[in-house]
Amino acid sequence: TINDISNMKELLIKNFKFPKECIRVLSEQEQNANLIPTKHNKLESLKWLVKDCQPGDSFVFYFSGHGLQQPDFKEDKIDGFDETLCPVDFLGEGMIIDNEINSIIVWPLKEGVTLHAIVDACHSGTILDLLFKHTSGGLAICLSGCEDSQTAADSSVRINLWRNEYGVLTYHFTKTIREYSGITYGGPLEKMHDEIKKINRSRCNNRILQHILILYIYITIFFFHFLKRKIHDPLLSSSEKFDVSTTMFTL
């Protein structure tokens, strides 16, 4: 996820001209204790993001990491589960649920304020609860790595000689934005879907690995399951309806 963070930060600065001083990064590599991605620090940073929002403001919330689900104790979800993000201390402090995220960064959005959330994690389809709750007049758009019921555990790609790993959503989203100027919201989705289909096809057609694995029963069981697992398509959700095929993408 460190590679993902660096990739996204570079995109925001170089392609969308976000000032460096307006970007807050939380990661385990940070020396400042307030920037370690604990539950407390994440919630405080979400509040910082949209604090004193005014018409014309554009916010971006980006997350690359682990996502899970937990029972919906408020019983306001059709599938009976809340979607969650996992801070580094979630085993002791608990996860951050979609209801909290919505109340902190979606509900306060005033008219004329736009929020983009890009969440590269498992079970992230409705992580902002945009299907169930609304803003205070602003616009919230979320690009998720997969549907609520799906996992993205093997959503990584290896590039260049150093074989760095990136989340599939992050890598193909940033790659598409860099390569295609003036693209619509539907453009990155279409490009990402095409690339993910190629990756899934490549995994399913890897006959050499499948033949080698026949020699080892236990390894065969494990890797056959691995080869059959597919990277799931990303999806787009919004607090308002708009035409993704004609609306130009911008942050």
Q: Is 239 exposed, middle or buried (0-12, 13-18, 19+ CB in 10 A)?
A: buried
Active site residue 134: no
Spot the catalytic one: 53, 86, 116, 122. Answer: 122
Residue range 2-184+233-238 forms a domain whose CATH class is alpha beta
Tokens of 228: 């059959």
Spot the catalytic one: 53, 66, 116, 232. Answer: 66
What pLDDT is attached to residue 226?
43
Q: How much of the chain, in percent, has pLDDT values that exceed 90?
A: 57
Angle at 223 between CA 219 and CA 225, to 5 degrees: 125
Q: Specify whether the CB–CB gap between 124 and 234 falls below 8 A.
A: no
Q: In this predicted model, what pLDDT tens digit does every residue of 211-227 receive, in sequence order?
A: 444 444 444 434 444 44
pLDDT band at 23 (very low <50, low <70, confident <90, very high): very high
Contacts of 45 (CB under 8 A, 6+ apart): 24, 26
- Spans of all domains in the chain: 2-184+233-238
Q: Kindly report the average pLDDT of the chain as a whole number.
A: 84
What pLDDT is attached to residue 86?
95
Mean pLDDT to the nearest integer, 186-194: 85
C-alpha distances (whole Å) from 101 to each of 85, 151, 165 are: 9, 20, 27
Other Cβ atoms less than 10 A from the Cβ of 23: the count is 13
Active site residue 66: yes
Mean pLDDT to the nearest integer, 96-107: 96
